[in-house]
Amino acid sequence: MSFQCEYSGKKPRVGNKVVRRGKAKREGGVGKKITGITKRRIKPNLQRIRIVDENGTVRRVRVCVKYIKAGKFTKAVKTS
């Protein structure tokens, strides 16, 4: 099971972490200089929740929090 939202399709993205030194020009310095660039992974906020799908069955899915807050589906009621 991949680290991906089953509804929106969000998955980890790749970006750069940029390290700078110096004082900004607007603050009276000579400007910021880049001293290092490294790769990083930006991961979505995924949660595993139990939902009731359109067939009425309860299943566990991995969903991003944006869809949970929007109320795109109905959560399953815990029975004991």
Determine, yes or no, domain membership for 37.
yes
> Count of domains in the chain?
1
pLDDT at 71 over 80: yes
Q: Which domain holds residue 70?
A: 13-75
Q: Which of these, 33, 15, 37, 16, lies nearest to 24 by C-alpha position?
A: 33
Determine, yes or no, domain membership for 22.
yes
pLDDT at 17 over 70: yes
Alpha carbon of residue 54 to chain centroid: 26
pLDDT tens digit sequence for 39-65: 999 999 999 999 998 888 999 999 999
Q: What is the dihedral of CA 54, 57, 62, 65, to 10 degrees?
A: 60
CATH number for 63: 2.30.170
Those residues with Cβ within 8 angstroms of residue 27's Cβ, 6 or more apart along the chain or in another chain = none
In the predicted model, what is the mean pLDDT of residues 14-27?
Answer: 96
